[in-house]
Amino acid sequence: MRRALVAANWKMHGSKALVDELVDRLVAGLGQGLNAVDIAICPPAPYLQQVQELARGSELLLGAQNVHGENSGAFTGEVSAAMLADFDVRFVLVGHSERRNLFAEDDLLVARKFAAVSGQGQIPVLCVGESLQEREAGQAETVVQEQLEAVLAHCGVGAFADAVIAYEPVWAIGTGRTASPEQAQAMHASIRGILAQHDKELAEKTRIVYGGSVKADNAAQLFAQADIDGGLIGGASLDATAFIQICNSVS
Ligand code: 13P
């Protein structure tokens, strides 16, 4: 039985005032009933400590949106996994499509980040997903397979023991156009199948979450699919009421 995960990716949104209000409301609204689901908040890096302090004593877990592949060094502007560990960060997104597309992160860089996160004992959340053009060309599964195999080749299947995979079709991110439960389930099953070729037991245990326009009114249907183990939530996670409803949609 895989434990569900619902993670909030706030992206580059927020302010001290908004973080205060949002986390207070989440702590109040998610105080109970978290037994079946891990809930993580990935704020922009400057607010990690603020979220850590506000969430202390609650079951909310902390996540980060990005990381550098080295633990320290002359990398102006970057943040290492070791630094994130100082703030009790448990989950770190790697390979989000916005990082791949807007910041030119390639598979090797993503794999290095993945390794750095595992190396700190944190949980990498490897984001994979195809563009609309790739889906329409019938290449969705191949593209996702390549993204996954690149990290498997660099890090080894053992590094996935505790990892999470987030399937986020690029065409569904921030567009209001969600993958249908059937489309998402098919890709999740395909991802699990790829993992199973490397390690059957591990594939059964690996959490695969869906991201891309998950809202309060479509979460339950998505999360009810056999291979969908929760969600990675962008826009709707900035609305406490909607995010709480999404968390409560895990059956
Ligand atoms: P939206 O939920 O806003 O579509 O964003 C999804 C996402 O990119 C989460 O990482």
| CATH for the stretch 26-249 | 3.20.20.70
* pTM of the model as a whole: 0.97
Q: Which atom of ligand 1 is nearest to the CA of 214?
A: 2
Contacts of 9 (CB under 8 A, 6+ apart): 42, 63, 65, 93, 96, 211, 232, 233, 234, 237
What was the pLDDT predicted at 215?
98
Contact (Cβ atoms closer than 8 angstroms) between residue 127 and residue 114: no
Q: Is the pLDDT of residue 79 over 90?
A: yes
Q: pLDDT, tens digit, for every residue of 146-160?
A: 999 999 999 999 999
Q: Is 149 a catalytic residue?
A: no
**In whole angstroms, what is the distance from residue 64 CA to residue 172 CA?**
22
What was the pLDDT predicted at 1?
82
Confidence tier at 23 by pLDDT (50, 70, 90) = very high
Contacts of 198 (CB under 8 A, 6+ apart): 152, 157
Any atom of ligand 1 within 6 Å of the Cβ of 8: no
Q: Is the pLDDT of residue 30 over 70?
A: yes
Q: Is 188 a catalytic residue?
A: no
Taking alpha carbons only, the member of 251, 98, 81 closest to residue 166 is: 98
Give me the residue spans of the domains in the chain.
26-249
What was the pLDDT predicted at 33?
54
What was the pLDDT predicted at 34?
64
